[in-house]
Structure 1
Amino acid sequence: MPTPKLREFSDLQDTFFHYVRDIKYATMITVDLKNRPRARVLLPVWEIVDGRPVGWLAAYKTPVKTAHLANNPHTTYSYWNPRQNAVHIDSRSTWTDDESAKRHAWDLYIKGGPPGVGYDPVHYWQGGPADPEYQVIRIEPWRIQLVRGSDLRSTIWQPDTP
């Protein structure tokens, strides 16, 4: 059976949020200056903006992440659980210095977007969203693959314009 390819995110939005809420942590993969992959486990939060998913990642602006994203902003975020449900998000990830976007991401973490995912970032950045160590990566997916563990069927979202 061919893998369904969807243009509208709303067609798989409920399953996407169900899997993300269930799994919580994602493996973020970047590419180093020698084109080698590098993985780390992090906790992005997600929302829908104009019908498309947008992710936010509160993170320390480490030299490794900074160099990788400066060289190649294309990233993959993968979620997986032992039931074999998985989400693979191919995206463009960029640091944002916009204070309102950083505050927005902070609020999403506190409120949990989607519900059940998130944490109080003050545990890491005691100065709140104005803490100089608090940095945010904006995640703009251009392709998402959902894999259902019960039968390993995939559904792919890829809009016309990445």
Structure 2
Amino acid sequence: MATKVSTFAEVRDEFEAYIGDIVYATMTTVDKKGRPRARVLIPIWEEVDGRPVGWLATYRTPVKEAHLAGNPHTTFSYWTPRQNAVAVDTVAEWVDGPDVRKRVWDLYSKTSPKGAGYELGQFWKGPDDPKLHILKLEPWRVQVIRGRDLRSRIWQE
């Protein structure tokens, strides 16, 4: 049974530890017929005013763009064979502008939580690369599951 918590701070340490360990998340969106589509990506997370906020450096593919235009809700799932898991339910929004691109580029370089970022230069020439697109992820629910005893805690707006 899951325990609901009232603040993100109550799950933050496990959230950061598990994401830093797992790194890769399965991002799920749905098409206009309600069918799910998953892809593996690496979002970066930070805390702003006591809430998690995610950023995803990505390619703006026709499928991803169409899915999010039809339904901006998406889930990011992290899992390790030790059964530690994190599920982050978000509303995703394409954002742009030189300040946002530079900020997200720097966040990935700083890898916060530790270990969860990477050098975006492996895929893009720099923050001004026209192929680099940014999704802002506004979580409304975060579930953290500890594998050794399957303790589950949920923060939800």
TMscore range, shorter length? over 0.9
Name the CA distance, whole Å, in 2 between partners of 1:69 and 1:121.
23
Q: Report the AA paired with residue 139 of structure 1.
A: L
Q: Give distance in 1, aligned partners of 2:142 and 2:135.
A: 18
2:148 corresponds to: 150
The AA in structure 2 aligned to 1:129 is: P
CA distance, structure 2, for counterparts of residue 21 and residue 96 of structure 1: 25
Report matched runs for 1:11-50 at 5 Å.
11-50=10-49
Amino acid at match of 1:30: T
- The aligned counterpart of 2:7 is 8
Alignment partners' CA distance in 2, 1:21 and 1:132: 29
Instruction: Show the counterpart of 2:87.
Output: 88
Supply the distance in 1 between the matched residues of 2:38 and 2:103 (Cα, whole angstroms). 26
User: Where in structure 2 are there 5+ consecutive unaligned residues?
Assistant: none
Amino acid at match of 1:79: Y
More divergent stretch after superposition (108-117 vs 33-42)? 108-117
Q: Structure 2 matches for 1:45-64, cutoff 5 A?
A: 45-64=44-63
The code of the aligned residue for 2:46 comes to E
CA distance in 1 between partners of 2:143 and 2:118 (Å): 26
Alpha-carbon distance between aligned partners in 2 of 1:129 and 1:7, rounded to the nearest angstrom? 36
Q: CA deviation at 1:3?
A: 2.1
TM-score, reference length from structure 1:
0.94
Deviations 1:30-62 (A, max 9, x none): 001111000000000100011100010000000
How many pairs were matched up? 157
Separation in structure 2 between the aligned mates of residue 92 and residue 71 of structure 1, nearest angstrom:
12
- 1:32–1:152: structure 2 CA closer, same or farther, 3 Å change rule? same
Q: Which moved more, 1:17-26 or 1:111-120?
A: 111-120
Moved over 6 A (4+): none
* Structure 1 unmatched ranges of 5 or more: none
Query: Does 2:98 align with 1:99?
Result: yes
Tell me how large the CA RMSD over aligned residues is: 0.9
Shift of 1:99: 2.4
Determine helix, strand or coil for the equivalent of 1:4: strand
Q: Which residue of 1 is the match for residue 113 of structure 2?
A: 114
Give 1:123-142 correspondences, 5 Å limit.
Answer: 123-126=122-125, 128-142=126-140
